[in-house]
Amino acid sequence: MRMHDSKVLNVSSLSSEGRFEFFIRKVADFEVVWGLYDEGWATATLEGNVVVPFWPEEEFAKRCATDEWGDFWPRKIAIEDFLDKWLPGMHSDSRLCQVFPVPGDVGVVISPTALEVALREELEQYE
């Protein structure tokens, strides 16, 4: 097994909260968020809420491009766009963020406002 595969498996096996913390650190460090795209961004419905899934790295997003997202591919979003456009737009549209889902675990579902606060707090440590 390659080191990269080992990392993906190890991180994917973390708890939802552990993956959320990994997401916040990685996104703040690399200043990129990953989603799945195919003539529009991937969404899901959880408990009656429309959620948009996000990942910290391309490989994690790629592993979730299955089943209903089988035709989707990873696409990156710059952190500035994510914080200044995406999250406010999602808030206006009453959508939630699905942070770092993996097969068999939906990840952390959080409001766009709460995700923005967490990311901005982490980004302050990198300035």
> Residue 119: which H helix or E strand, with range?
helix 112-124
**What gap in Å lies between CA 68 and CA 77, rounded to an integer?**
22
Task: Note the pTM of the prediction, 2 decimals.
Answer: 0.93
DSSP 39: S
Q: What is the pLDDT along the chain (127 residues), one digit of tens a residue?
A: 344 778 788 889 899 999 999 999 999 999 999 999 999 999 999 999 999 999 999 999 999 999 999 999 999 999 999 999 999 999 999 999 999 999 989 999 999 999 999 999 999 997 7
Tally of domains in the chain = 1
State the maximum Cα–Cα separation within the chain, in Å, rounded to a whole number. Answer: 44
Domain containing 95 equals 3-124
Give the full edge-to-edge strand order of the sheet including 44-46.
Answer: 44-46, 49-54, 96-99, 108-110
DSSP 47: T
